[in-house]
A = this chain, B = another copy of it.
Amino acid sequence: MGNLYLYWNLQVTGDRRKLPRPKVLEVRSVMLIGEVAKAAGMTPKTLRFYEEQGLLPPAQRGLNGYRQYGDDSVARLDFIARGRAAGLSVSQIRNILAVREPGNAPCAHVQDILAGQLAELDQKIAELTALRAGVAASYEAVAAGNPATCDQSRVCSYL
**Partner-B contacts on A (CB < 8 A):** 72, 75-76, 79, 82-83, 85-87, 96-97, 100, 103, 105-108, 110-111, 114-115, 117-118, 121-122, 124-125, 128-129, 131-132, 134-136, 138-139, 142-143, 145, 147-148, 150, 152-156, 158-159
B96/A118 in contact, CB under 8 A: no
Contact flag A139-B121 (CB < 8 Å), given A147-B105, A156-B107? no
Q: Which of A85, A105, A117, A152 has the most CB of B within 10 A?
A: A105
CB-contact partner of A145 in B103, B107, B115, B128, under 8 A:
B107
Q: How far is the CB of A25 from chain B (nearest CB, A)?
A: 24
Contact flag A100-B155 (CB < 8 Å), given A105-B147, A115-B139, A139-B118? yes
B131/A121 in contact, CB under 8 A: yes
CB contacts (< 8 Å) of A131 on chain B: these are 86-87, 121
A107/B75 in contact, CB under 8 A: no
Q: How far is the CB of A115 from chain B (nearest CB, A)?
A: 6
CB contacts (< 8 Å) of A118 on chain B: these are 132, 135-136, 139
CB-contact partner of A135 in B114, B153, B154, under 8 A:
B114
